[in-house]
Amino acid sequence: MSFSFAYPGWLLALALVAAGGLTYGTYRNTVPALSPPRRALLAGCRFLALALICLLLFQPVAQQVEERERPPLLAVLIDDSESLRVTATQAAGATGRPPADDGLRSAVGAVTDALQTGDLSGEQRAFALADGARAVGTLGEDAPLDSLSFTGPRTNIAAALQQVRDALQDENLQGVALVSDGRYNAGRNPLYVAERFPVPIHTVTVGDTTRQRDVQVRRVTTNDIAYVDTELPVQVGLRSEDAGGETVSVRLRSGGETLDAQDVRLPSGTAEVPVDLAVTPDEAGLQRLTVEVSGVSGEATARNNRRSVSVRVLESKRSVLVLAAAPSPTFAAVRRVLEQNANTEVTARTPRPGGRFLEGPLPEDLSAFDVIVCAGFPSEAVPGSVVDRVATAAENGRPTVFFLDRQTDLTAWRDAFGSVLPVTVDDLRPGFTDAAFRPAPDRRQHPVFDIDGASIDLFNRLPPLETSDTRFQAPPDATVLARSTVRDVALNDPLLVLRSRAGQRSAALLGTRTWRWANLPSDLASADPLWPGLVSNLVRWAAVRQDDRPVRVRPVESTFGGGERVEFTGQVYDESLTPVDDASVEVTVTAPDSTQYPYTMEPVGNGRYVLDVGMLPEGTYTYRAAAEQGGASLGTDRGQFSVGPLTLEYRETTADAAFMRQIAARSGGTALSTDQIGDLPNRIAASGTFTPQVVTETREAELWRASAFLAAILALLAAEWTLRKRFGLV
């Protein structure tokens, strides 16, 4: 034991000398005179008290150094995932069927038995490996294998290694024995973790490495969005292992009904087989599609013979109201394009004198239309009451697309449609001028210009349009996609303008004679797609509704794979669309059997919220989210999602011994197969790294904080005072 002080030792010695001198001076001569023994007793009490006070003022610290030997620790990481039920089939002696739990425990138990019976000193602690690492006990003291279930839905070797390292960082971890089939399907590549792992990782490959007969649905590819009564292609990728010559049936199912099917003859060896299926949805909503392939005799597992995806089905027919100024080529060109689109339902109205329309009366409910197209509308012949009805519908949120015509009443545009037009009408002037259509250089990638079969550069070859001499100005929140060019002079006048304001979209093509673009000569045949593509894209862009709801909660995927964690993201805003950080967002998930599960989302800042509900069984779920702040409701949201069958652990049917060897090599460990299990303890011991650790511990005690010294000082001073009184000293 050693001592240290806060101040130099010579100062302490000097203080003790001063204390001794003071004590000697006090009791050298006493009145009345005392015998030497009594004076020595009183002086001793006084000096000891002063010496202790001086000692404590110098803040003494007692240090004790101890050395002890800590035995080495081996972490045994045992694969507890479902993949072992397939890869260990032949290794466990089964034929065509995954081994039972007892057989699996026997396969991995041989490793733990070898570690216990081998000449390996130290402690061996077992962990179960699945989505991470879970401590299951110490080998030799209990039965850790009894807690293994081999039902882990995912294998995350990298996370398990990191968790073992973190859990044992304060112990003498000298090695890891990884007992697995080497198949991981979640997290980082374990090789990156192995390269930087502080101790060797010794791998034991459990399972059969030979190729097993199997057929599985490897992938299902389709669109996230489909439309009612419109065929949706579904591409399926089958993987065949040693099933050559077999004929299997591939079925596309939904809700127990077979929607499409195809028989496929499998090639020999290992091959990927593409299969094309299709479905025509008949109702809107979230539809879950499942692809199933019939099994083959003797295959490794049937758990990978199906896979699911979810498709959000929308109403296929976009309802469009097309209003003309009068019978004109512009109106006919626009109407013809929209009617040729199979996904568009067109209602056309052409004014005639007297305030009526050629095709019948104006529909009573204009809000039933997805888009209103004013192809020259209105003209001076249209009654003001009709103009007001259409303008009111546009102001109430109906997306509107404007096409200029020579008969367009620009005064009505300014007065009735001023709040919804994407431009302002500043100066009304009669007359028209020929002008070329020039796409804005910084808007060439806009979706409106994404026209199949034609380049945007072909707009330069189209016949010129006629633009009104009226001055149009684009407000700051508008997007100008094209401007006019007159006699090769680029003007700043807007020609094609979009605007999105307060959730309402509008577009305007401020040039007439567009019918010329619909009737191009043969030398401009390459530009034929421009006009129908431009009209269709403008209507499609306008029909997209902006999401200005105050509460927006969505699952991160529309379809979660079996064994995946179901997660949500959310956004909450107040009435002015300012993010709300302190809202209470409750999400209720309803299972297919109508069971409801309530959850609370966690705020992450700037009005954003997250939720992890964990893994859910297969099925289609609905959810409802409600946000409150201070007891006041901010809004709600609802939706659907689905969880597919558990196939992640069954995609690979053989053990990957090569990968296990790479993990061992990069970490400095050894790699063994099940036939070499008996050598595992010897190899670990021979590595020279599995050794005890001498731990040096230094204990410090701050004596100046100890209450015992204070008590001793008080006792000495009290004894001195008592003796002085007893001896009759003043």
3-state secondary structure 112-124: HHHHHHCCCCCEE
Band (pLDDT 50/70/90 cuts) for residue 427 is confident
Q: Give the pLDDT of residue 647.
A: 61
State mean pLDDT over 478-500: 90
How confident is the prediction for the chain on average, in pLDDT?
85
> Which positions ≥6 away from 236 have C-beta within 8 Å?
217, 219, 220, 221, 250, 252, 274, 275, 276, 277, 291
Residue 547 has pLDDT above 70, yes or no: no
CB 671 within 8 A of CB 322: no
Query: Which 3 state secondary structure label does DSSP give 441?
Result: helix
| Residue 571, C-beta contacts closer than 8 angstroms, at least 6 positions apart | 551, 552, 553, 579, 607, 608, 609
Q: What proportion of the chain, given as a percentage, has pLDDT over 70?
A: 92
Which of the pair, 270 or 471, is modelled with greater confidence?
Answer: 471
Nearest-5° Cα angle at 720, 717 to 725: 130
Query: Mean pLDDT over residues 167-187, rounded?
Result: 84
pLDDT (tens digit, 9 = 90+) per residue, 633-675?
Answer: 999 999 888 887 666 656 666 788 888 889 988 988 888 887 7
- Is 243 buried (19+), middle (13-18) or exposed (0-12) by CB count in 10 A? buried
Share of the chain above pLDDT 90, in %: 26
The CA distance from 154 to 152, in Å, is 6
SS3 332: helix
Q: What confidence category does residue 337 fall into, taking pLDDT thresholds of 50, 70 and 90? A: very high
DSSP per-residue letters across 136-172: EEEBTTB-GGGG--S-BS---HHHHHHHHHHHTTTTT
Poorest-confidence range of 228-242, 433-447, 507-521?
Answer: 228-242
pLDDT of residue 97: 41
Which pLDDT does position 372 carry in this prediction? Answer: 95
115 vs 552 pLDDT, higher one: 552
Alpha carbon distance 210, 472 (integer Å): 75
For 108-121, what is the mean pLDDT?
A: 74
What is the average pLDDT across 709-725? 89
Rounded mean pLDDT, 76-93: 66
* Number of CB atoms found within 10 A of residue 540's CB: 17
- At residue 684, the pLDDT reads 80
**What is the model's pLDDT at position 649?**
58
For 161-164, the CB contacts below 8 A with 24+ separation are: 161/77, 161/133, 161/190, 161/193, 161/194, 161/197, 161/201, 162/193, 163/132, 163/133, 164/75, 164/77, 164/127, 164/133
Residue 350's beta-bridge partner residues?
none
pLDDT at 142 over 60: no
What domains can be seen in the chain, in order of their start residue? Answer: 2-66+701-726 (no CATH), 72-208+654-691 (3.40.50.410), 214-314 (2.60.40.10), 318-543 (3.40.50.880), 551-648 (2.60.40.1930)
- pTM given for the model: 0.54
Look at residue 444 and tell me whether its pLDDT is greater than 70: yes
**Contact 315/228 with Cβ under 8 angstroms?**
yes
Residue 634 token pair: 């901010």
Q: How far apart are the first and last CA of the chain?
A: 43
**For residue 287, is pLDDT > 90?**
no
- Whether the predicted pLDDT of 98 surpasses 60: no
**3-state SS class at 68:** strand
pLDDT at 223: 79
Contact 369, 343 (CB under 8 A): no
Q: What is the pLDDT of residue 498?
A: 95
- pLDDT of 78 strictly over 60: yes
Higher pLDDT, 79 or 432: 432
pLDDT band at 346 (very low <50, low <70, confident <90, very high): very high
Lowest mean per-residue pLDDT among 160-164, 244-248, 520-524: 244-248
Across the range 116-135, mean pLDDT stands at 80
- For residue 79, give the nearest of 125, 145, 17 by alpha carbon: 145
Residue 93, pLDDT above cutoff 80: no
Read off the amino acid at residue 157: I
CA–CA dist 24, 13 (Å, integer): 16
427 vs 261, residue with greater confidence: 261
